[in-house]
Structure 1
Amino acid sequence: MAVSGAARVVVWVVAVVAGVVSAGLIVALVVNPDMADRTASVTGAIVGLAALLIAVITLVRNRGTSSGGRRVRAGRGGVAAGGNITGNAIGDRSKVIGPPTPAGPAPTGGQDADVRAARDGLAAGGNVTDNALGDDSERR
């Protein structure tokens, strides 16, 4: 996942702070092991609370929002399309011969429905027209 802008700065600040705290705990361990034990315990508690706070903020911020589109998934060997599948040759030795049929409009109902093709299956969120599907298939 790429991180850019302000998020990149936050990642670097967190990395530097974590490095400084780790180095400080190592120095404290060498100088005074009893103090290092208590310091590490308090530091761990603070870091745990910060992680909990970040998790809660992330969950609340992302609740109820969606990507606005459908998810398109295909199993091994499957073909899935979020819209129309028109004029394709899919599979071994498949051919589409002849003038293409113009694609029709995608169905209007269920625009946000997910599209999923199981293993070796075919699924489309729209119309399937003018295709040659499967082994040795041909449309003339």
Structure 2
Amino acid sequence: MTTTGRVVAWAAGVVALGLIGVAVFVDLDSGDRVASVVGAVVGLAVAAYTFVGPFGTSGRRIRAGRGATVIDGDVSGSAVGRGAKVVGPPTAPRTGPRRSRRSDDDVRVGPESKVVLGDVTDSALGDESERR
């Protein structure tokens, strides 16, 4: 379980115990009203999290299965796949900022996968590929 999952589980447990305490030690009607307010607040929090995403992370989430090829960035003059070849004059170097993997990127790939996070220029990716 992730740290966020543990925090959510503990918070849910504390809220549940608090609602039970209100119902038992105060009265059932007050417990009902408190539960309604807590339910509304939790519903809004879940909706905001779903809409906005995890707070404090700006990284990308990349998933790829077995044998996948993932390229995240500009691709120019490239051939992808078994036996692919790139021929012709090289592409002019790209100017401007480059994309690369950041520490908050969440990248998970299967076995035999190829992942390029950044700019790809004049490349051949895959088995038996070559650049001429």
TM range (shorter): 0.3 to 0.5
**Which is higher, the Rg of structure 1 or of structure 2?**
1
Q: TM-score, normalised by structure 2?
A: 0.38
Larger strand percent: 2
Name which structure has the greater RCO, CA cutoff 8 Å, separation 6+.
2
Q: TM-score, normalised by structure 1?
A: 0.36
